[in-house]
Structure 1
């Protein structure tokens, strides 16, 4: 980029890639032309709107405004992750609490230990990465738990009939759901830098920051994502399990 700032003409040029995607979908008769165009338009509108809001937050909102924006992200993420758990009573509430606790603990830890400065321009993007990955972990937990109930209802109920408490009867499925939730973060951490350069590092390199400095930031980001996902999953599993069983320790879904 030679130190230049990406302008709107360059953004307009990138629309050619959307046209390529539409052409490929039409050529292969995938029936996705409308979806591709709609996705591109939505991304443009949403990012412009978010950019305008962030300008206001960075200039006038301060740290409280940035934390408020992160809280809004948590609420939205809880709704998205909760959809994966259709079948779990109050799935969206479970997802929102889990994402909030996991993201909050990770973000507060980083700020309290002064790993990142407490500035709006730092809190918002870092908080966004934490929330997004916590959302993915919680969504996978809920999805796997629902699948386990559907596939293994008889074996779970058999353990309950033998006198096992719900926690023990459901333990194998609980562990399986937690494992599934953490695998994407673990795999991404294993291959970071080998398959692709992650977003934070790429952005800094494009801004012509020294690569070794960018790497240090990316290491912190990867560990942060891994920790946030683990915390969110650890909260989601017991919360969801309580919703799956009634007071008499019977499956209620």
Structure 2
């Protein structure tokens, strides 16, 4: 047994951190206690189930199983990103297409160039990181563009009334949104290794891999994360722009934003 890996008893003991978090938010009356508890329990159950399924995929299905696994992750990521942008026209197909574009281009390039091995044990965890980065960037773009279309509607329509096409009337908001969506990926790339050790590198070091070897893998991970975020954000922005305007270059009305429910204690 690797002494760097917690036992199941250690995992159970780490629930004390969740209890501490719940106590802190209760004290501040943030109404997040139930959400934190459910999230922690769901994470434990989900990860245990995923671990069991991964054993089956690695041992019996190989690359075909890995491809199916990635497809499921992409569909879930698209739905999560779309859910955050409720009220935006065609949010689900746009979010899914953006995640697919960022994931396929990034992971496909790594496989074609031989940077990573075409094995289920490699493709699934690396692909999961790519999908996660693409999902985060997509969600930010969808949320920001939806909000811009609502709050800056009068300014956009004023430009349209002056004869500007939809693309030019919406361009300032599109540029600002893309810059905002890519800032997290850019900042995490710039500060890699300076503010804590990144996840992939930490995991490899804990597994006993030489730090210089772990660094090589982490550099690849940072580059693919940046590329996936950029490609997904650009794809999402392009499709959202098409969804927001009709063929006559008129800004479509947006559905009312659903009211957020208050979480219990």
TM-score, normalised by the number of residues in structure 1 = 0.96
The root-mean-square deviation of aligned C-alpha atoms, in Å, is 1.5
In the alignment, is the contact (CA less than 8 A) between 1:62 and 1:119 conserved in 2? yes
- State the shift of 1:84 in Å: 2.5
Please give the residue correspondences for 1:108-127 in structure 2 after superposition, counting only pairs within 5 Å.
Answer: 108-127=108-127
1: CA distance, partners of 2:29 / 2:235: 44
Q: Which runs of 4+ in 1 moved over 3 A?
A: 1-5, 26-31
- State the shift of 1:3 in Å: 4.5
Secondary structure of the equivalent of 1:144? helix
Correspondence for 2:238:
238
1: CA distance, partners of 2:57 / 2:15: 29
1: CA distance, partners of 2:155 / 2:206: 54
2: CA distance, partners of 1:29 / 1:146: 31
Compared CA separation, residues 2 and 102, structure 1 to 2 (3 A): closer
Secondary structure of the equivalent of 1:42? helix
In the alignment, is the contact (CA less than 8 A) between 1:99 and 1:131 conserved in 2? yes
Correspondence for 1:199:
199
Gaps of 5+ in 1: none
- State the shift of 1:121 in Å: 0.7
1: CA distance, partners of 2:54 / 2:84: 29
Compared CA separation, residues 197 and 92, structure 1 to 2 (3 A): same
Correspondence for 2:179:
179
Correspondence for 2:149:
149
- State the shift of 1:248 in Å: 0.8
Secondary structure of the equivalent of 2:115? coil
- Give the structure, 1 or 2, with the largest relative contact order (CA under 8 Å, sep 6 or more): 2
- State the shift of 1:28 in Å: 3.5
Compared CA separation, residues 171 and 4, structure 1 to 2 (3 A): closer
Correspondence for 2:258:
none
Alignment partner of 1:95 is 2:95: yes
Secondary structure of the equivalent of 1:143? helix
